[in-house]
Structures are given as C-alpha cells and as structure tokens.
Amino acid sequence: MKKLVYSLLIIAALASIVCVEPAGAQSDRLLGVTVPFNFYVKDRALPAGEYTVALVQVAGADTLKIQSADGHLTAFIPSQAARLRGDQGKAQLVFNQYADRYFLAQVTGLEDRMAQQVTRSHSEDEIVRNLSATDHQKVAVAARKR
C-alpha cells in the first residue's frame, strides 16, 4: 500500500512539473531579487544570491517559481493571492525572521495591488511554537520588475 501511495505521489509531482504554464505573458509577473541571506522556501534551504521570481500556474493553482540566476536551483511553492491596500504593491519579498533563519512569507509586485502569500512550513511552525513573540520579525527585500 505504501509503495502505491509513493508511486502516485511521484507521478503527481512529475505531472505537475510538466503542466507548469506561465500565469501570463505580462512582464509584471516576473521579478529579479538579490537575497542577502540564506533562506527557506517551505522546508527547502536556498543560499543567498540572485533569484528570479515568477507567478505560474501549476494544475490551475497559483504557484511561485523561485529560480537562481544560474538556473541550477528552482523551487515551486503554492501561494494564495491577497488584496493589498493603497500603495503597498511595491516589488519585494517579505521573510519571517527567527534568530538567523529566514522563511519566505510573501511576494508583492507580481500583480497590481495583490500579494502572493506563502503558508508556513512544518519547520517554521515548530520554530514558532518554541519561540516567544518578540523573537520574530518581518524582513523585506526589495525586488525589481523584469
């Protein structure tokens, strides 16, 4: 039974990679960013560096594609659109910081007046349970539209 479940999960993952389509040909759906610290996208650790962030559709759902400038590292992460108020739509990545660990929480600037929210990972939830509220802060890194 476990073997069948694992096989189905692998097939679903491969199918979702094949079904990745750009969310649109609009240039505002692509950002360039220099992240000055190591960070996590869900439970995947990524090193500091230059990245491209795009909003794509995977099996009909909004997904952030984060790729290193050299193309060697790519991460896909489901996201949810959230409406922004006023002039909050500048291009940036927002991270939750806990001591020296940074987790991607939000991307703005991919769509007008919208943010792409990222749900917390199990690792981040574990950190939140073990830290006080004062051990958390949000860190924004400016991005540029491509």
Range of the domain at 129: 21-145
Residue 7 CB-density burial (10 A; 0-12 exposed, 13-18 middle, 19+ buried): exposed
Is the separation of the CB atoms in 55 and 61 below 8 Å? no
- The alpha carbon of residue 10 and the mean position of all alpha carbons in its chain are separated, in whole angstroms, by 22
What does the pLDDT read at residue 6?
Answer: 47
DSSP annotation of 26 reads: -
pTM: 0.78
Q: What is the per-residue pLDDT across 32-41, written as a single tens digit (0 to 9) for each?
A: 999 999 999 9
Structural domain includes residue 51 = yes
26 versus 84: the higher-pLDDT residue is 84
Q: What is the per-residue pLDDT across 18-30, written as a single tens digit (0 to 9) for each?
A: 444 444 434 448 9
Structural domain includes residue 106 = yes
What does the pLDDT read at residue 106?
Answer: 96
Structural domain includes residue 130 = yes
Structural domain includes residue 49 = yes
DSSP, collapsed to helix, strand or coil, labels residue 55 as strand
Q: What is the per-residue pLDDT across 101-133, written as a single tens digit (0 to 9) for each?
A: 999 999 999 998 899 999 999 999 999 888 766
* Mean of all residue pLDDT scores within the chain: 83
Extract the tokens encoding 91.
């291009």
Is the separation of the CB atoms in 33 and 41 below 8 Å? no
Structural domain includes residue 6 = no
Is the separation of the CB atoms in 138 and 118 below 8 Å? no
Structural domain includes residue 100 = yes
How far is Cα 66 from Cα 107, in angstroms, rounded to an integer?
11
